[in-house]
Chains A and B, each alone.
Chain A
Amino acid sequence: MSKSTESLADKLKRLSNYDVALCYQCGKCSAGCPMSAEMPLKTHQIMRLSQKGDIQRLSEDPSIWLCLTCEICTTRCPQKAGPSKIIDALRELALIDNPSAAPKRLGAFHKAFLNQIKSNGRLYEVGLVVEYKLRSGALMDDVFEAPGMLAKGKLSLTPTKIKGIEEIKRIFEKCEEHK
C-alpha cells in the first residue's frame, strides 16, 4: 500500500507501532487522564476518531496538544492500544502537514527548547525563556521569578556549548529529512 492511500490508522501504526483498532472504548484512559478536565476531546474519543479516520475533527481540536505524555493511559489500557503513543503520532502527523499546527504557546515552547539544543547541545534556561517569550508573546509571565532564581543560584547566566555541537546539528538535519 503506498503512503498516499494509507488510512489514518495505518499512518499511526507506521509511526507508533500501535494499532488503534484494538481499542474497544472502555474509557479507562480518559478516566485516568490528568488533562481530561481541559480537553474537549477525551482520550478515548481521540482513539475513536483515529479509528474512523476523522483527521479533520482531530486537527481542529486542541486536545492532542494538551497531552502530557504521563503514560497513565497506555499503562492502564487493557488492549495495549497505546493511546499516548497514538497521540504522539497524531502530533507528528499534524506537524508534517503544517509546522505551525500546535497551539501558539505550546508550539513556541517546544520550538524554543529545540533551538537551544541545536545551538548549544544543552538547555540554556535563560535562552529558552527569552526565545519562548518572543515567540509566544507571553512577555510578562514569570518575569518576577528571575531575580529569585538568580539569588538562589538556580539560573545560569552563560550557556555551555558542547564540543560535539556539529554532531547535534547533523542529528537534527538527518531527523528532519527522515520525516
Chain B
Amino acid sequence: MNYGYYPGCSMHSSGREYGESMHVILGKIGVSLDEINDWACCGASSAHYVNHLLSIALPARSLALAEEQGMKQIVAPCAACFARLATAHNSLKIDDKLKRKIADDILEKPNFTNNVQVLNILEFLTELTPKLKEQITKPLNSLKVACYYGCLLLRPLENNSFDDPEIPGSMEELVKLTGAEPINWNMATECCGAGLSLSRTPSVTRLGSSIIEDAANKGADAIIVGCPMCHTNLDLRQKTMSLSRQIPIYYITELLGLAMGASPSELGIPRHYIKATPIAKLEG
C-alpha cells in the first residue's frame, strides 16, 4: 500500500535526521511514500495563534492536493503538522458550513470532499509493525529508554482515537520491537515548550530540564521522541540546561533503524547536538 507523505518544513532542515532515518527504515521494509505535490506549510502554532480560519485553510489546501492526487492516507511525521492537518480534517468533517466556506470560497476547490485520512508517526509505524518486526537484526538489548510523547501525538482528543492521552503505550510497543526496554517515568506527556524555542527560550530550558531530569532519575539511557520540535527543544537546547547528566535524544525512527542494522551515519545520528553515538551499552 502506498502512503501519501506530508514532510513539513523541518524535514529538510532542523529535523533532517528524522526524515533520513524514516526513509532508511521504510526502504528496508519496502514501503514507499508519495510526497504531496506542492504542499505548503501547515501553519504550525503561528496561524492558529492569530487567525482561526487561516489555521484551517492552510492545512486544508494540502489535504485537497492530496485528495486531487489520489491519496487515501497521508502520514505527517511532525507532530505539529499532524495536529494541524488532523484538526483541519476533523473540523471540516463536523461543520459542513465551514467546509463549504473553505472549499468554495477560500481554497476555490469546490470538489474537495475531505476524505483523506491523516496518520501520525505512531499510528503509521504501528500499522507497519509486522513488516518492521521482520527486519530487526540487531536488537538493542539492555538499553533503557524513556518514551516521550509530548503534546500533539495524543492531544487534542478530537485527533486521537488511537492511544490513551494520559498513560499512552504505542511508543513503548514500538520500542519493544527494537529490544530496548521502555522505563516508567513521569514526564511522557508534558510539553517541551513547543514553538517558544526562539521567542522565549528560558521557558523551553525550564520545561526541558524537568523532562530530562526525570528521565535521568528513572535510569534512562536515552529519550525517544516523535516530533522535530521536541527533538530540537530537548537536544539542541540541552546544553543550556543544568542537569545531573546529559541524555541523548533519538527519534523513534532512528532507534528502529539501529535495531534493523543501519549505521548511525545512514540514520543522520551524527547531526544530533548531544552525543548520541556510540549507543550506550551497545558498543563496548
Which A residues are within 8 Å of any B CB, using their own CB?
A: 15-16, 34-35, 37-38, 66, 68-72, 74-75, 84, 88-89, 91-92, 95, 102, 105-106, 108-110, 113-114, 116-117, 121-123, 125, 129, 132, 136, 138, 141-142, 145, 148-149, 152-156, 162-164, 167-168, 170-172, 174-176, 178-179
A175 and B57 contact, CB distance less than 8 A: yes
Specify the chain B residue showing the minimal Cβ separation from A132. B198
A75–B41 touching, CB < 8 Å: no
Known: A88-B48, A106-B200, A153-B16. 20 other contacts (CB 8 A): A34-B190, A35-B203, A66-B200, A68-B196, A75-B155, A75-B165, A91-B50, A105-B199, A110-B49, A117-B40, A117-B41, A117-B58, A122-B9, A125-B9, A154-B13, A154-B271, A167-B107, A168-B61, A171-B106, A178-B53
Question: Which residues of chain B from 16 to 71 have any CB-CB distance to chain A below 8 Å in the complex?
Answer: 16, 38-41, 43-54, 57-58, 61
Check B157 against A75 for contact (C-beta < 8 Å): yes
Question: What would 22 A/B residue contacts be, using CB atoms closer than 8 Å?
Answer: A15-B52, A16-B52, A34-B190, A35-B203, A38-B203, A66-B200, A72-B151, A74-B155, A75-B155, A84-B156, A106-B196, A109-B198, A116-B41, A123-B41, A132-B198, A136-B199, A141-B198, A141-B201, A156-B13, A171-B61, A172-B54, A178-B53
Taken together as a complex, chains A and B put the C-alpha atoms of A88 and B108 apart, in Å, by 26
In the complex, whether B212 has a CB less than 8 A from a CB of chain A is no
A11: shortest Cβ distance to chain B, in Å?
A: 13
Residues of B within 8 A of A162 (CB): 38-40
**Given contacts A88-B48, A168-B40, is CB(A175)–CB(B156) below 8 Å?**
no
Residues of A within 8 A of B48 (CB): 69, 88
Bin the interface of chain B by size. Answer: 35 or more
- B194's partner among A68, A74, A122, A155 (CB-CB below 8 A) is A68
B93 within 8 Å of A (CB atoms): no
Q: Is the interface of B mostly helix, strand, loop or mixed?
A: helix
Cα distance A35–B151 when bound, in Å? 14
**Complex: chain B residue closest to A116, CB-CB:** B41
Q: Evaluate contact between B9 and A154: CB separation under 8 angstroms.
A: no
Give the residues in chain A near B201, CB-CB below 8 Å. Answer: 141-142
Is the beta-carbon distance between B51 and A142 smaller than 8 angstroms? no
- With both beta carbons as reference points, the residue of chain A lying nearest to B196 in the complex is identified as A68
Contact A68/B195 with A95-B50, A121-B41, A154-B271 known, Cβ cut-off 8 Å:
yes
